[in-house]
Amino acid sequence: MISQILKSVILVSLVSSVISYILFKNTSKSFVEWFAICTIIQFLFFYFYNNVITFFTKLKLEKENIEAIKLINNNTILINCESCKKINNVKIDLSRDNEFNCTHCDTQNILNIEYTTIAKTKIYE
Ligand SMILES: [Zn+2]
């Protein structure tokens, strides 16, 4: 981390020095003035650049989270067609009603999902 910061500072200083030297040779302003201006411009640029990168990374992460949540809600089950009793591979989305057309007889089936509870029994020692 510290070595990265040091590397960045050295690189910024190097770029500032080169540009400042060129501008100093061609204009009336001093090298120190150009160096300060170049350094400030670079820091401002990297500040905004980092903000933009952070913003897009956040956006991407949020999108991935939404996709993950969608994936959690999706499950595939093997279920028999009500008409021909043959097995179908059906995708289930618990956030909406589920229907499927049988791949064997093309009958439209509506999935009836029922939830029941079972009390967990404890075994006494
Ligand atoms: Zn069928």
Instruction: Give a three-class secondary structure readout of the chain.
Output: CHHHHHHHHHHHHHHHHHHHHHHHHHCCCCHHHHHHHHHHHHHHHHHHHHHHHHHHHHHHHHHHHHHHHHHHHEEEEEEECCCCCCEEEEEEECCCCCEEECCCCCCEEECCCCCCCCCCCCCCC
CA of 80 to the centre of ligand 1 (A): 8
pLDDT at 96: 87
pLDDT at 65: 94
Distance 81 CA to ligand 1 centre (A): 5
Query: Residue 76's pLDDT is what?
Result: 87
The domain ranges of the chain are: 2-71
96 C-alpha to ligand 1 centroid (Å)? 22
What local confidence, expressed as pLDDT, does residue 104 receive? 95
Dist. CA 88 → ligand 1 center (Å): 8
- 108 Cα–ligand 1 center, Å: 8
Tell me the CA–centroid distance for residue 47 and ligand 1, in Å: 62
For residue 71, the model assigns a pLDDT of: 79
Whole-model pTM: value is 0.51
Q: From the CA of 109, how far away is ligand 1's center (Å)? A: 8
Q: How do the pLDDT tens digits run along the chain, 125 residues long?
A: 889 999 989 999 999 999 999 999 998 889 999 999 999 999 999 999 999 999 999 999 999 999 988 877 778 899 999 999 999 999 888 888 999 999 999 999 999 988 899 999 988 87
Question: What is residue 21's predicted lDDT score, i.e. its pLDDT?
Answer: 93
Ligand 1 centroid distance, CA of 75 (Å): 21
pLDDT score of 106 = 95
